[in-house]
Amino acid sequence: MDLGGNRRGVDMGPSAFRLAGIESGIRELGLSFVDRGDVPVQLPKPGTALDPTAKNLPEIAEACGKLSDAVRQAMDDGHFPLVVGGDHSIAVGTVAGVVEHIHAQDGRIGVIWFDAHADMNTPESTESGNVHGMPLAAITGSGPSSLTQLGGAVPMVDSARVAMIGIRDVDRSEAENVADSDVACFTMREIDEQGIRAVMEQAIAHVTRGTVGFHLSFDVDGTDPSVCPGVGTPVEGGVSYREAHTVMEMAAASGSLLSLELVEINPILDTQNRTAIAAKDFALSALGKTILHRPPMSRS
Chain positions contacting Mn ion, by CB under 5 A? 88, 115, 119, 219
Look up 206 and say whether it is catalytic. Answer: no
103, 153 Cβ separation under 8 angstroms = yes
Contact 183, 163 (CB under 8 A): yes
Q: How far is CA 266 from CA 3, 15, 241, 245, in A?
A: 13, 10, 18, 20
221 given a catalytic annotation: yes
Q: CA distances (Å), 61 to each of 52, 142, 162, 267, in order? A: 16, 14, 22, 24
Tell me whether residue 77 is one of the annotated catalytic residues. Answer: no
Minimum CB distance to Mn ion smaller for 169 or for 281? 169
Given the residues 221, 261, 270, 281, select the one marked as catalytic: 221
87 is annotated as an active-site residue: no
- Least gap, CB of 217 to Mn ion (angstroms): 8
> Measured from the CB of residue 176, what is the shortest distance to Mn ion in angstroms?
18
Q: Is 100 one of the catalytic residues? A: no
Among residues 2, 59, 87, 132, the one annotated as catalytic is 132
Active site residue 245: no
26 or 265: whose CB is closer to Mn ion?
265
Other beta carbons less than 10 A from residue 287's beta carbon? 19
For Mn ion, which is the closer residue by CB, 70 or 137? 137
Which member of 2, 87, 117, 243 is catalytic?
117
Q: Are 129 and 40 in contact (CB under 8 A)?
A: no
CB of 263 to Mn ion, least distance (A): 7
Q: What's the rounded Cα separation, in Å, for the pair 120 and 133?
A: 6
d(CA 276, CA 297): 33
Residue 219 falls in the annotated catalytic set: yes
SS3 call for 166: strand
Question: Of 90 and 252, which CB lies nearer to Mn ion in the complex structure?
Answer: 90
CB of 290 to Mn ion, least distance (A): 27
The CA angle 107-83-55, to the nearest 5 degrees, is 100
Query: Active site includes 88?
Result: yes
Cβ neighbours of 80 (radius 10 Å): 14
Q: Which of 11, 119, 174, 270 is catalytic?
A: 119
Out of 158, 171, 264, 281, pick the active-site residue.
264
> Smallest distance from the beta carbon of 85 to Mn ion, in angstroms?
10
- Closer residue to Mn ion, CB minimum distance, 26 or 112: 112
Instruction: Indicate if the alpha-carbon torsion angle 166, 230, 12, 42 is positive or negative.
Output: positive
Spatial CA neighbour of 261 closest among 45, 5, 25, 17: 17
Residue numbers annotated as active site: 88, 115, 117, 119, 132, 219, 221, 264
